Every structure is written in C-alpha cells, then in structure tokens.
Structure 1
Amino acid sequence: MIQNKQEIIQLLLKYLEEQNHDKIQEFLEKYQPADIAEILKDMDAAERGKIFKLLDKGAAALVLDMLDIGTITSLLETLGPQYIAEILNEMSSDDAADLLGHFPEELRNTLLGLMQAEDAGEVQGLLEYDIESAGGIMTTEYVAIPKDITAGKAIEILRKTAPDAETIYYVYVVDSQNRLVGVISLRELIVADPDTLIEDIMHKKVISVSVDMDQEEVAEVVSKYDFLAVPVVDHDNRLVGIITVDDVIDVIYDEASEDIFRLGGSTELVDDYVGTRISRALKSRLPWLSVTMLEGIIAGQVLRGLENELRAVVALAFFIPLLTGMGGNVGTQSATVTVRGLATGDIDENNVLSVIFRELLTGVLLGIINGILVGSIAWVWQKNAVLGFIVGLAMVGNMTIAALMGALVPLTFKKVGIDPAVASAPFITASIDITGLLIYSTLARLFIGFLL
C-alpha cells in the first residue's frame, strides 16, 4: 500500500495542470500497476481518465485488471468504449473475460465488437463458460507441443509461441487429437538432449481439471499439489486452457469474502463495497432479516407460553438475554468452524460423525462450565437455589443444542448441494433462540411449584 498517496495525487494534478505529460509518464514508470490502480481510485473521474490515457497500452491493461468495476465504469464514461476496447486487446484473454463478465450484456457485446476479431473470439469463447467454473477462469494462452517431436524442436516452438503465453513454467504435451498426454517443466526441456523425443522424457501422470469443475475445487487442486498452473481439459481429455496460480489466489480471496458475507446474512458485491447500490444491499440483506424476524415472532410465542411463570417469578426473565446470547454465540462458533473445515477439505464423509461428536461434546462441556457459573450467580443473587438450578440446567441444554445445530446445519446444507456458508449467523442464532427458550420454559413449568 502506498503511504504518501495524497502527496502523489497532488503532484500528478500539478503536472496535469502544467500539461507536463512527459513528467507524468516518467513518474508513473516508477510504480507497479497495483500502485497506479490504487492512485487512480482516489482521483476524480476527469483527472483519472487523463492520467490513465497517458499510460502505454500494455501498462494500462495491467492497471485496468487491478481496478474495481466502479472505477472501470467511470473510465468507460470518460474515455469511451473504443479506447477501453483497445486496452482489452492488450489484456490476457482470461482477465478480459473476467472483466467483461461483470458488464451488462449490451455493453459487453459493444466492447467485443470493438475489439480485434481474434482477441474477441478468444474472450467470447471463455464467456460461454460458467463464470465460477474452471472454464470461466482459465486462459487459452498456453504452450503445448506434440509428443512426437524432439526436445530441440520443442525449444524452437517455444521461442515462437512463448511471448504470447501467460506462463511457460510448464509445457504441456498433446497427441494428434490435442488430447493431453504429458507435461514437462521448462527446466527439464532445456537440459534435455536436443535429439531426445518429448514422449520419452515427459511426465505421463498429469493432474488436470475438467472445464466445468467449480473454481473452489480447482483452488483445492492447485493448493494440494503446489502447482503454478494446472491444465484444463474437456470431456474428451482435449487440452482447452490452463489456470495460473494468480487466478487461483483471486478465487480464494473471492470465495473467502463470499463465505464471510453469507455467514453474516448478506450476499452483496464484495469487489466494490462503496459502489454497491443501496437497492442491491437491501435485496441481499432483507431475505435473511425476514427469516430472523419470523423466527423472532416464533420465539415471542414461546415466551408467551411462559407468561404465567414470568408473572409469578419475575426473576426468570432476568436470565433470558443471557441464555439466548450465549447459545447464539456457541452456535455461530460451531458453524464457523464447520464451514471453514468444509471449505478447506478438512471435513469430509470419512470424519463427519467425529466432527459432530466433537462439537456435541464441546457444547456439553461449555454448557456445564457456564451452567455452574451462571447457576451459582442466580442462586446467590436471587437467594433461590431452585432458580439457580433451572438457569444452570437451561444453559447446559441450550449450549449443547447450539453446538450441535452449528455443526449439523452446514453439514446438511453441504449434503443436499447448498453452499454451507448459507447457514449464516442470523439463521443459526434465531433458531437457537427458539430452542433455548423452549428448554427454559419447559424447565420453568416443571419446577414452578418449587419457585413460589
């Protein structure tokens, strides 16, 4: 992150006012594309457009890839679709497809029509895939060589094709039908005897991903095998692209942000929070709040059933917020740990029962410890041992059920094919409020005769 960003912006504005464009270009050459993008985000639209246009198109493409959608939309309005299309021509096909995928269809088609035919064709092909699949994040700019050529011939091919490839750390080997049959590292290729056939030195056990594999699963594959890139194949094992580690990092960031939002009961755009419309914020938050409100009404009905007991022993009401609050916290903790375990692959079909038992046991132990503590406080405070017993026992039951629900709900969602992160904190907390109040009201009815 740039420490003196405002000073840099003021200096650029000064050069801009003086129309000293050479000085601006010279100044920006010292900074990385990510730093330039950070500077541009904090500038006014007109000034941002003028500075951006002074970048050479190669640098502008790298900067554009670092900007959020709100800032890119501003540049579109300032510089026009034709200029942005020229920059898109300089971007790698997967980055251009990712960017265009965020635009409305009409604008996307306009930009594609203004791009060079070859580049537009590659990008259009990528846009056909689901945006969250392997096909949606792969690039078609890779290096592949036939299996029946020599190492020397392969290096000649690399010299011609490598400048257009996104990465050449791995060289993929295909047969005459473009089916993936092997892989060889650049280092192995360089040190090999020039007359050696590629099929004699290539690695035949190739890890690949299917074009329709979910991007989160792709990230798990790359993480498991420590790849810098992974090949993407179609259903006939034909090589169609590669996914590089920088795209996988973006996936991990996006998926983590999405899970955090869903755990909080929201599904808003995370790339550009400031630019998110209020209508979108309302649309993403209201459904979960409606669920919470409905469950709150049900909890109110449960409390209504406790009306006579509360009227007879007012002290019962003192501990309701504590019981529901503690239960909600335990449930949220359990859900967070479970969702995280499912996301990282630490929890699978082989250890589901042990995970459920672990969370159940944790809930019981937490309930006993806190139950003894809060029960003792209730006894001393209200000078009523039975009240202390009811509150303590309710705490044990509430925290046990909360921990169990926190684990079971995400696991159930995963089993039926729903994103476990949808088991959000509002949903878990509100559900636990109902069960906690049911436990408390049942105990109060059972022991009301001893409280009076």
Structure 2
Amino acid sequence: MTNAHTIIHTLIKNEVWTLLKEELTKLDVPAIVTLIERSNELQSTILFRFLPRGKAKQVFQELDPSKQKKIIDGLAQHATLLTNLMNDIEPDDRTALFEELTGKVAQQLMQLMSKENLQITTQLLGYPEDSIGRLMTPKYVAVKSHFTVKETLSHIRRFGVDAETLSVVYVVDQNWKLINDLRIRDILLADPDDKIDDLTKHELIVLSAFDDQETAVHVFKDYNRVALPVVDSSNTLLGIVTVDDILDVAEEEQTEDFHRFVGVKDAIINPVQASVSFIYKKRIGWLMALVLMNIFSGYAMSRFDTVIESMVSLVFFLPLLIDSGGNAGSQSATLMIRSLGKGDVRGRDWVRLLSKELAVALLLGLTMAVGVSVVASWRAPDIIPVVSLTMVLIVVVGSVVGMLLPFVFTRLKLDPATASAPLITTICDISGVLIYFSMAKLYFGM
C-alpha cells in the first residue's frame, strides 16, 4: 500500500475528518477507486461520505459491483447521500447496479430517484438480460436535419453538458426517427451556413435494443466506433452505447470463456470471495467425469499386455506420444474457440477448415516424428518406425478433435469454450494408447 493510502487509513482510525477530506482532494479518481477497493466496508463507507458529489459519482461507477453493494449498505442511514448518488450516476451504470441488487433493495433505491431517472431505469430494466437495451444511455445530443451547422453548435452548447459523449451527434426527424449520425469533427470543419442534411451522406450503423450484447462487441470492432445509436423496430432513436461499456462486456465474455476453457463451467468472478465449497462443487463434477473417461485408457493398455511385455521400451515413449496429441488438440481448440468468439469463423466453415487442419496437422506430425525418431535412435532404434508413424497419426487425430469439438458444441447450442483442454487431452490419451500399441502389434506381428 502506498504512503498516501497509509496516511488516509491512519486519519480514519484517529477520526481526523478535516485532514481526511483534504487528503482525498489530492487524489484522482483511479487512486480513490484503488483505495476504496482495498479498504474494509466501514472504511469504504467513510471514504465515500467525504467525497465531493461529482467525484463520488465518478468513483462509484468505477467500483466493482460487490464493493458498490457494500457502500449502498453502508450509506443506508444517509438518505441524502444515497438520493444524490442514485440520481447522479449514469443510467447504464445504474441499471447494471440494480441487476446485482436484491429486488427489495432495488425497490427501496428506486424510491429515492427523481421521476425522470426512475422512468429511464424502469425502461432499461425492461429489456432482456444481456441485451443492448440494458447497456444504452439516453444521454446523447440529437439535432434535426434542417439545422445549420451554426444552429447545431448552439444546440450542442445548450444540451450537451450531460451527454455521455460529444464525439458523435445524432440526426433525427420530427418523429424522432434516426436519419444518420455525425462526428463532431465533421461539424466543426463545415461552413456555419451548411445544412446538417448535406453532411449526412455516409452509411448509418445502428444497434437494436433487443440484440445480444455480444453483437455490439463485434459491430464496434468491425467499424471502429466510439459510440453507436440504439433503435427499436420502427427505427426510433432510444439511446446510445459507448465503447467503454462494450469493453467491459468484452472483458466479461473473455473471462467467462477462459474459466470454461480450463474446466470451470460457471465463471468465478472473484475467487478470493468465493467459498471453498462453491469452488469445489463447480470443479469436482468435471474432474470426476474425466477420471471415469481415463478408466478407458487403462483398460485399453490392459488389452496389450503381451505387446508391452515383449517390448518394454514401448512404454518409455507412451507419455511423450499422447502428450503430443493432447497439446496439438489444445492448440487447435484454442484457435477455433477464439475465432468463433470473434466472429471470424462460422459454423458452416468447419468443412473448409477441416481440410486445412488436416494439412497443417500432417506437417506438424511429420516434423515431430523426426524429433521422436532422433530420441528413439538413442534409446530403442528398433521401434523407430512405430513411434514415428504413431506420432504422425496421434497429432493428426488430436488436431482434428481439437478443431471439431468447438463446432460440435456450437451446433448443440452450447458454449464452444466448454470444449476444454482436459476433455481433449483425455480423448487423445485413449486414442493414443489404442493407436500406439495397435501399430506396435501390427509391426512386430504379435
């Protein structure tokens, strides 16, 4: 912890409130967020109470949801502070907070909000969970197409104070139907007497309030925008979504996919706060399933007792061969999952990708066969043909399995990230044992 943090916690402990307020004014928003995140519930509440109203809003919006809930609990006896906070924070951030709260607490907080903010929040909460409607904010600047540039700039100065962003201005008709959007740069560089309608000649990109949030992630990436308009089925402008909210969604999706990929189906947002029993229950089912699958690997080996007894040197290369297949499969699965998640690959592409994966896997297998042949020439030269051919086959099998599993999961309406590395490794273990000892039995005529 930094010296400033130590000083502030000492001031709280000694109840030196005047100096505490002075010290907090010296810190910027990120520093205060870090300080509150590292403080206990009582310290966090005290720190928040001494923040100026404007800074309190900024800090609260940057806090982790679990810390936000603790501050809400700590401020329960301070109605004025809570009222200010609920009315000050941005609509999309307020909606995200309400999603984390129990119905009773959310209802109590709604009673503190202004009529306008309550109406906005109720509207946003009415959209499906994980929809773009939950992310959007109604705080934007819209102008009419018949405005001149001069009138538009005057309008922006008058109504743009509370806008989420002024990088983009939206053009609507008399019925609030979206016509187009304009970058503020284009407006500033235009002649003051130019009509807005004359500046809106580019393609309009919009989002539907009912689309999934992942759709917005792909659109922002493809078009490199800082904000996009959100419309309903009749093209009425409802709000906008900004890139900072989309970055949060993308991070959540990547975190969830990562946890699923390593075998934890339900992502644990904060493993420090999760109980031992919770983590245990989320992991044991998957691991027990893999244990049962590995029984088949042991059974397969037992069917080749005669081969193993005749050529004990075969056992030396078994871990190397099956690990190679598992590693190749995990590589392939990782690439496919990432490509599916980014939208670069669609379900119908599996046939075309299969032929490409077979070619790559064959080259990889041949290269790795050369390496294992060198090792075998020193350890057991007589089994070089067996380990070399097995290496090629097992790398091809592992790569194909790793590539196909994400597509199978997608077809079954499951998250492709659940095609995890342990599952691929287990499949490669079983197939590797069968391929290796079958090849040995065939080659040596046993």
Secondary structure of 1:166 counterpart: coil
Matched residue, 2:417? 421
Alignment-derived partner of residue 53 in structure 1: 49
Deviations 1:305-350 (A, max 9, x none): 2234334433333322222211111111111122222233333478
Of 431, 435, 438, which aligns to 2:434? 438
422-431 or 116-125: bigger deviation: 116-125
Equivalent of residue 63 in structure 1, options 59, 75, 94: 59
> Separation in 1 of the partners of 2:267 and 2:73?
21
Q: Which amino acid aligns with 2:104?
A: E
In structure 2, the CA distance between the partners of 1:267 and 1:32, relative to structure 1 (3 Å rule), is farther
What is the count of residue pairs matched by the alignment? Answer: 444
Q: Which moved more, 1:120-129 or 1:88-97?
A: 120-129
Give the direction of change, closer, same or farther, for the CA distance of 1:449–1:317 in structure 2 (3 Å limit).
Answer: same
1:18 Cα deviation after fit: 4.5
User: Percent same amino acid at aligned positions?
Assistant: 31
Counterparts of 1:329 and 1:372, CA distance in 2? 17
Q: Does 1:174 align with 2:172?
A: yes
C-alpha contact (below 8 Å) 1:332/1:406 kept by paired residues: yes
CA distance in 2, matches of 1:59, 1:345: 39
Distance (whole Å) between structure 2 residues aligned to residue 315 and residue 106 of structure 1 = 69
Task: Find the residue that maps to 1:114 and give its secondary structure.
Answer: coil
- Contact 1:64/1:72 (CA < 8 Å) preserved in 2? yes
Structure 1: how far apart are the matches of 2:183 and 2:423?
49
Kept in 2, the 8 Å contact 1:69–1:271? The answer is: no
Q: Distance in 1 between matches of 2:239 and 2:251?
A: 22
Please say if residues 8 and 20 of structure 2, whose CA atoms lie closer than 8 Å, have aligned partners that are also in contact. Answer: yes
User: 2:45 and 2:269 mapped to 1: Cα distance?
Assistant: 21
Distance in 2, Cα, partners of 1:187 & 1:366: 51
* Structure 2 CA distance for partners of 1:238 and 1:305, relative to 1, 3 Å: farther
Alpha-carbon separation, structure 1, partners of 2:155 and 2:172: 14
1:393 aligned partner:
389
Give the letter aligned to residue 244 of structure 2.
D
For 2:174 and 2:306, how far apart are their aligned partners in 1? 83
Residue-by-residue CA offset, 1:400-439 (whole Å, 9 max, x unaligned): 1111111122233334543322221122222222222221
Measure, in 2, the Cα distance between the counterparts of 1:419 and 1:314.
43
**266-275 or 430-439, which deviates more:** 266-275
Matched with 2:110 is: 112
1:41 aligned to 2:41? no
State the distance in 1 between where 2:49 and 2:267 align: 28
RMSD: 2.6
Q: Does the 8 Å contact 1:413/1:420 carry over to 2?
A: yes
> Can you give the 5+ residue segments of structure 2 that lack an aligned partner in the other structure?
none
TM-score of the superposed pair, with normalisation by structure 2: 0.90
C-alpha distance in structure 2 between counterparts of 1:132 and 1:221, whole Å: 16
Structure 2 counterpart of 1:229: 227
Q: Is the 8 A contact 2:347 2:407 kept in 1?
A: no
Q: TM-score, normalised by structure 1?
A: 0.89
Please tell me the residue identity of whatever aligns with 2:397.
I
Aligned to 1:282: 280
Secondary structure in structure 2 of the residue aligned to 1:319: helix
- Identify which of 403, 407, 422 aligns with 2:403: 407
Q: Distance in 2 between the 1:60 and 1:273 partners?
A: 28
* Partners of 1:288 and 1:426 within 8 A in 2: no
* Matching residue's letter, 1:53: R
Select the residue among 193, 214, 220 that pairs with 1:216: 214
| Residue 206 (structure 1) aligned to one of 199, 204, 207 | 204
Task: Write out aligned runs for 1:29-428 (5 A).
Answer: 29-80=25-76, 82=79, 83-84=81-82, 86-192=84-190, 196-203=194-201, 205-269=203-267, 271-348=269-346, 352-382=350-380, 385=382, 387-428=383-424
